[in-house]
């Protein structure tokens, strides 16, 4: 009998689904962070993000179904055996991350963060100017499913959307204009909002350089809900302090948690959330992850091709 290890925070209804699909397997439910090396070594299927160092290229592991879209820790040689298929949960986080990013965008556009600061000081003062999504140009850097969903939300409020992706192709629905990543410098000066949802790759580390912030409008706002290492903290701080851009909001930082001594915490025109856009903040996310996991568990048992397979070279879903 093969073992299935589940570490995602399933409910009883989810357990019933998994147990029914894997009725001829031994299914073990262990809270995240509590799985032992022995349990990992004995598993033919793992549903959840167990520490990469615990896997040790197990020949027994046939399917690793991640609860995350990112797969970075599992890509280096020696982590997974060639027998292991790695699948992610791309698609599960579209709603929660895009809504979080849209909320941050509106907060900065309407200066709500500054009004909140004034409230704490008992200050009643109209800050006079604000931005509107209607008629604004929004640059979406990273046109995966989250980027496309965010674009849809901003488009519904009247924004003109420029999408940025690695390769040329047909312009997706809801995108007004499409450019390649290596052409981004040509469109940065036009953007009122720059939304980054880049993954972690060699090409995206410190992607937003000081030169690129200089290309942006002084009135522009920058939102990062992708990977924290896309922008160096000191570079972002300088852009905010010197007025290269008007404001920024980041859900991710290069070092997480962001150290308490970081000057970013005290920057008035910066909003920081603690990598809270994703995870399980809304029930929809867990439902989507369970759907993906159940589908792939069924495919595994039937010897069928998996969905959401990760390309081990790029880290993206194939």
**Which residues carry out catalysis?**
227, 256, 275
Neighbours of 196 (CB within 10 A): 24
Q: Is 73 helix (H, G, I), strand (E, B) or coil?
A: helix
Residues 6 or more apart in contact with residue 278 via CB below 8 angstroms: 68, 69, 93, 96, 97, 285
Token pair in block for residue 171: 């312009």
Compute CA 127 distance to the chain's CA centroid, rounded to the nearest angstrom.
Answer: 32
Name all contacts of 206-215 with Cβ < 8 Å and 24+ positions apart.
Answer: 206/230, 206/231, 206/232, 206/235, 207/231, 208/235, 208/236, 209/235, 210/235, 210/238, 210/239, 212/184, 212/185, 212/188, 213/238, 213/239, 213/244, 213/245, 214/244, 215/185, 215/188, 215/189
Contact 217, 194 (CB under 8 A): no
Q: Give the side-chain half-sphere CA count within 13 A for 102.
A: 20
How many CB atoms sit inside 10 A of residue 212's CB? 18
Q: Tell me how far apart the alpha carbons of residues 318 and 309 are, in angstroms, rounded to a whole number.
A: 6
CB 318 within 8 A of CB 311: yes
Cβ burial, residue 130 (10 Å; 0-12/13-18/19+): exposed
Q: Are 207 and 185 a contacting pair, CB within 8 Å? A: no
């Amino acid at each position: 009998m093969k073992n299935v290890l589940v570490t995602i925070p399933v409910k009883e209804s989810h357990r019933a689904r998994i147990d029914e699909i894997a009725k001829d397997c031994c299914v073990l439910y262990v809270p995240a962070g509590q799985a032992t090396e022995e349990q990992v070594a004995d598993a033919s299927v793992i549903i959840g993000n167990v520490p990469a160092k615990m896997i040790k290229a197990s020949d027994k592991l046939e399917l690793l179904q991640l609860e995350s879209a990112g797969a970075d820790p599992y890509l280096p040689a020696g982590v997974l055996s060639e027998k292991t298929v790695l699948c992610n949960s791309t698609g599960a986080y579209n709603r929660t991350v895009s809504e979080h990013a849209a909320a941050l965008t509106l907060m900065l556009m309407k200066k709500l963060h500054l009004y909140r600061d004034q409230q704490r000081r008992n200050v009643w003062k109209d800050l006079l100017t604000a931005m509107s999504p209607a008629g604004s140009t929004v640059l979406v850097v990273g046109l995966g499913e989250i980027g496309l969903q965010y674009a849809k939300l901003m488009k519904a409020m009247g924004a003109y959307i420029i999408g940025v992706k690695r390769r040329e192709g047909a312009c997706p629905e809801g995108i007004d204009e499409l450019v390649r990543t290596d052409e981004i410098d040509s469109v940065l000066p036009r953007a009122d909002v720059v939304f980054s949802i880049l993954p972690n790759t060699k090409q995206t580390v410190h992607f937003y350089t000081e030169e690129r912030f200089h290309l942006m409008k002084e009135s522009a706002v920058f939102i990062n809900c992708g990977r924290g290492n896309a922008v160096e903290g000191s570079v972002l701080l300088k852009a905010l302090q010197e007025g290269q851009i008007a404001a920024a909001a980041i859900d991710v930082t290069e070092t997480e948690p962001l150290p308490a001594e970081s000057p970013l915490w005290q920057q008035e025109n910066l909003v920081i959330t603690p990598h809270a856009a994703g995870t399980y903040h809304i029930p929809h996310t867990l439902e989507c992850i369970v759907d993906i996991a159940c589908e792939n568990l069924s495919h595994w048992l039937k010897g069928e091709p998996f969905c959401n397979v990760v390309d081990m070279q790029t880290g993206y879903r194939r």
